[in-house]
Structure 1
Amino acid sequence: MAAASVRSRRRPRLGDRAVSFILSGLVIAALAVFFLLPVLAILWRSFDVQGGAGLGNYATTLSDPRIWELIGNSLGMAGLSAIGAVTLSYFYAYALQRTNVVGKSILRMVVMAPLFAPSLIQAQGLIFLLGRNGIFNRFLGFEIDIYGFWGVAIANTLYTFPYAFLILSAALAVADARLYEGAIVMGAKPWKIFRTVTLPSTRYGIAAAIFVAFSLSITDFGNAIVIGGDFSVLATEIYNKVIGQAQFHLGAVIGVVLLVPAALSKLIVGYISKRQHSQVTDKSVALQVRPNRRRDLAYGAYATLIAILFLSIPLIVFFASLVKLWPYNMTLTLEHYAFDVQNGTEPLWNSIGVALATATLGVVAVFIASIVTMKFRTPLSGPISFLSTLPASIPGMVLGLGYVLAFNSLANPLNFLYGTFPLIVLLYIYYNHAQGFLITTTSLKQVSATFDEASTMLGAGAMRTLFKVTLPLLWPTLLGVGVFFFMRAMVSLSAVIFLITPQTQVAAVSVLQLADRGATNQAAAFSVCIMAIVLLMLLIVRGILWLVGARGVTLIR
């Protein structure tokens, strides 16, 4: 009798089943409207010609020699940036994971600086350092021409370095000491051990880092438009076609062209991840870093030089924000922080409000999507999981243009959202949905199913278990996901560039507009404020986690 009672309590309740289907329906409807619809709008507009649908737009675009020049520029720049970022970050990650260099925590944090600011801050810093009126040319007598291909490639190398570093650092974090001991016993020298043991064991991490860096570089808009000069890429061409010429159909075609290499990169990364096997098994012996003075000094010097390079970018931008008129009047002043141009401080406050809304609603969106995928399973769970990770394959500029085409149509019942902050918030949520979803589902997998089983056996329904068991265990991770959404909403530029109106200005776009007008000091001040706000949020959340004892949560992923 007692056994029958327990079995009855284990059966899913009708109410729980209904809640699962309702939540699943809401999630898939939101993904369909705010992700699939904009992507389909891009595809439809690219085929939309007078009199119906056809390939006329593609024929017009692809028959233009300029488009092939832009494709070559984009592929060459992105390829060089990816190789540069992965090469530099590999040895930097090696220094932090496989040597005894001093100050690893500081060295790790310094190279994360590009994550705290709009991508174009790399171009800003390079111009202040190496531009025509930069420190090296104007004050030290050099004649460096940083504008064009090399400037964009270097800026994107710095921009993608942290992403490559995080992947490679994880790849180098673990290793089986037995392989290294065997190589040493056989008389292999350090360089041969590196070539025959270390590199092969991290080849999947290297490949993934290359494709991630390539994808980020080929879709980046900020650095190319600030430091590119006469050098154009596909991302800047979309901007020119849409903003400068209002040729949405041609912009859509170029968006589809840009989508191809970005999507292929994501697919290849996914394939690589599936092919990767565990480097450490239950019989492995953890690798211990042995003291080696010469090696540690060499890698310490290398890591210090890289750290100085990454520090020099935000520091020179900060310094430029404090001088009266760069480079003609270097008197220190705080007048640029008065923000008496470009709508004053309004874009900053707008960005903070948008970022907070994005963080709050973004956490809710990815948490519900994760729950219906992992816990409240229905026939919709598979499609939801697929759609939830798909945004990672869509460049921000392409998705942003899709939002314009989808929500600026009077035929869309949600047309009233166009030109408002809520639509910008929704764009930020679904542009960054994949990363938030993956972080949350990974954490959910680490929560043992025995908690749910025990709660169910005690008579609790699925929703009660969710609020009483799952959420208390998962809230530190959700707080970290919220920080991720906040940070991305503060610094993202390409995704939102097409949705900005005079009434919906945000700080990242104001930086671009000020730099484009030649107001470099004010642009630098805006960049500094964005970085300060992001860092302040990180410190606040880290303080909260420290106070409650959840100190192992990673906020930067």
Structure 2
Amino acid sequence: MTEQAVASTPPARRFRIGDSSFALVVSIAVLVMMILFLVIPVGSILLRSFVGATGWGLENYTETLQSGRVWELVGNSLAVAVLTTILSLALAYIYAYAIQRTHVLFKGFLRLVVMTPLFAPSLVQAQGLIFLFGRNGAFNRFLGFDFDIYGFWGIVLADVLYTFPYAFLILSAALAASDARLYEGAVVMGAKPFRIFRTITLPSTRYGIAAAGFVVFSLTITDFGNAIVIGGDFNVLATEIYNKVIGQGKFGLGAVIGVLLLAPAVISKLLERRIAKRQHALITDQSKPLTVRDNRRRDLIFGLYTYAVACVFLAVPLIVLLASLVKLWPYNLAFSLKHYSFDVQNGAQPLWNSIGVAFATAIFGVILVTVAAIVSQKFRTPLRGPISFLAILPTSIPGMVLGLGYVLAFNSTANPLNVLYGTFPLIVLLYVYYNHAQGFLIATTSLKQISATFDEASTMLGGSQLRTLFRVTLPILWPTLFGVGVFFFMRAMVSLSAVIFLITPQTQVAAVSVLQLSDRGANNQAAAFSVCIMLIVLAALLLARCVLWLAGARHVSLIR
């Protein structure tokens, strides 16, 4: 053999699993997890809805749909959802406009205040409204009013407070994107401010309005906490599932109502995606950023509105805090910390359970959504499409429906995974897949921002796909994944409807304790649990910001 031939012979490579084999194995594992903990639970609801007292058939559907009560519940749910959507969109749009298009003072504070409902279980809004406007609320008891907050209007007001942050975030993002050239042209042509708003601002944000509307509608029609706490004798579909399953043990009828509840959520999600596909870019390379001009009168009007709204959002958690710090609301307002002793069944254990479950959810949630995002974005396998579809499917599944599906799927001796039923691991998996879509979308968005040249360079240097993943992709992605973990932690601390059917005395969590205490009339202790949940979530968010700040500071120092 010539020296030239020897020199051209490639060096022997170490034995390793090929990139294609590795990608296929990981993709199969991700898909199996999704089938086990997402597809099978939802499928169990559909199957169980066809199993009646006499066997398979339409018995459950016939009994449910022929009942005048179910149509009353459908009407109640739609009425609450539609009115809440209208009010939430209108109020949130004005608030977002004030933040993005005026010079109101302390915008950071105003943003933070309306985010407070995200830091607590949904029923805290109803809880606060009862302390303010209930029969023994502050306004009725101390100011001589005669408000009747229970029923339809109580649910609507509580749901408006609950959904407002979601609408505000979407609308704020829509209003942040603007092209100054359109506004300059309108001013040159002599258009008045209201005409500019009607012909330019409103049309340019119509997709944001539609997206926010669908999100608010879906959240409202599937909300359980507010309706059961403040609804009184006014029932909706979400509370009916709870009554059928927990109160009467009629799983078949509960499954039918779950299917009815699933339908509007799925339809609204499909409409949202269809409208989003028609959206075109508002900002191009020729666009000019919009500069907000000074206008004291405008700023004063919007400032009064935003601070009035902020006061309402502050009043709810503050009145809950006050109720937790007095001996007996509203009869004995002497300061007391006795409600924080948690001298009830299980004591403070539900809080510790929630913290442990939330940490586990954060860890496993980050792992599962990261792997799913990498499989769908980086691996070229035939399973990419099904995985991407199933990854975002939970956005169309109400929490109560998915929770009921877990009961039907895993509380069966025919299921080999029945050993998980009644345990914390199953609750963790439920939280992960209930919130999977949001974490997955965040992770995939960040992955798309990483240039493919990194992968190409690594491949040219002989690096495997796995090596590139751990040496290049994940180090770039870690701040985003850390944020996803914080999101999972927060959602696991405050979610109620998804887990309500899985709780046992041994696996009690804090959000469910709030509901049970409120249901028993122990409102002061329920308030104490709510305050603890909010403080834990806020502490986690503050700690996360400190970690990111310190990491960013070190990163900057290294660059320097």
TM > 0.5? yes
Match of 1:439 in 2: 442
Q: Read off the aligned partner of 2:37 and give its amino acid letter.
A: F
Find the aligned partners of 1:367 and 1:418 in 2 and give their Cα distance: 26
Matched, 1:238 2:241: yes
Pick aligned residue for 2:27 from 19, 24, 30: 24
Q: Distance in 2 between matches of 1:544 and 1:184?
A: 46
- Residue 16 of structure 1, CA deviation: 1.5
Q: Deviations over 1:346-380 (max 9, x none)?
A: 00000000000000000000000011111122111
Give distance in 2, aligned partners of 1:180 and 1:299: 20
Aligned to 1:555: none
Partners in 1 of 2:494 and 2:549 — Cα distance? 26
- What amino acid is the match of 1:262? A
Select 2:433's aligned residue among 420, 430, 436.
430
What secondary structure is seen at the aligned counterpart in 1 of 2:416?
Answer: coil
Contact 1:476/1:550 (8 A) holds in 2: no
Residue 558 of structure 2 corresponds to which residue in structure 1?
A: none
Q: Deviations over 1:309-363 (max 9, x none)?
A: 1011001000100000001100011111111113111000000000000000000
Per the alignment, residue 475 of structure 1 pairs with 478
Matched, 1:71 2:74: yes
Aligned with 1:219 (options 218, 222, 225): 222
8 Å CA contact 1:101–1:299 kept in 2: the answer is yes
Matched, 1:499 2:502: yes
Q: 1:246 to 1:8 in 2, by over 3 A?
A: farther
Change (3 A) 1:40 1:328: same
Structure whose CA Rg is larger: 2
- Seen in structure 2, the aligned counterparts of structure 1 residues 67 and 313 have a Cα distance that, compared at 3 Å, is same
The size of the alignment, in residue pairs, is 550
Instruction: Give secondary structure in 1 for the equivalent of 2:333.
Output: strand
Distance verdict in 2 for CA 1:456–1:530, change over 3 Å: same
Give, in angstroms, the shift of residue 55 of structure 1.
1.3
What per-residue deviation string (whole Å, max 9, x for no partner) do you get for residues 171-221 of structure 1?
000101111111111111111111111000001101111111010000000
Q: 1:519 aligns with which of 519, 522, 546?
A: 522
Q: In the alignment, which of 291, 294, 300 is matched to residue 291 of structure 1?
A: 294
2:465 is aligned, of 462, 475, 480, to 462
Q: 1:407 aligns with which of 373, 394, 410?
A: 410
- Cα distance change of structure 1 residues 7 and 132 upon mapping to structure 2, 3 Å threshold: farther
What TM-score, normalized to structure 2? 0.96
How many Å apart are 1:51 and its aligned residue?
Answer: 4.7
State the AA in 1 paired with 2:399.
Answer: G
> Quick check: 1:133 aligned with 2:115?
no
Match of residue 158 from structure 1: 161
Partner SS for 2:18: helix
The CA distance in 1 between the partners of 2:174 and 2:463, in whole Å, is 41
CA RMSD of the aligned region, Å? 2.0
- Aligned mates of 1:217, 1:442 — CA distance in 2: 27
Q: 1:15 to 1:99 in 2, by over 3 A?
A: same
CA distance in 2, matches of 1:169, 1:550: 29
Q: Give distance in 2, aligned partners of 1:272 and 1:310.
A: 31
Q: What is the distance in 1 between the residues matched to 2:234 and 2:8?
A: 73
Q: Matches of 1:127 and 1:159 in 2, distance apart?
A: 15
Q: Which residue of 2 aligns with 1:318?
A: 321
Aligned to 2:341: 338
Q: Could you tell me how far 1:544 is from its partner in structure 2?
A: 0.5
- TM-score normalized by the length of structure 1: 0.96
Partner of 2:89: 86
Distance in 2 (CA, whole Å) between partners of 1:139 and 1:14 is 73
Aligned to 2:537: 534
Distance 1:551 1:384 in 2: 37
Deviation of 1:451 after TM superposition, in Å, equals 1.1
Whole-angstrom distance in 2 between the partners of 1:338 and 1:5: 78
Q: Residues 7, 389 of structure 1: CA spacing in aligned structure 2 closer, same or farther, 3 A cutoff?
A: farther
Note the residue ranges of structure 1 that are not aligned, 5 or more in a row: 553-557
Q: Which runs of 4+ in 1 moved over 3 A?
A: 4-9
Q: Contact 1:130–1:136 at 8 Å: present in 2 too?
A: yes
Task: In structure 1, give the amino acid aligned to 2:490.
Answer: M
Q: Is 448-457 or 464-473 further displaced after alignment? A: 448-457
- Structure 2 Cα separation of the partners of residues 515 and 48 of structure 1: 34
Matched, 1:395 2:398: yes
Helix, strand or coil at the partner of 1:459:
coil
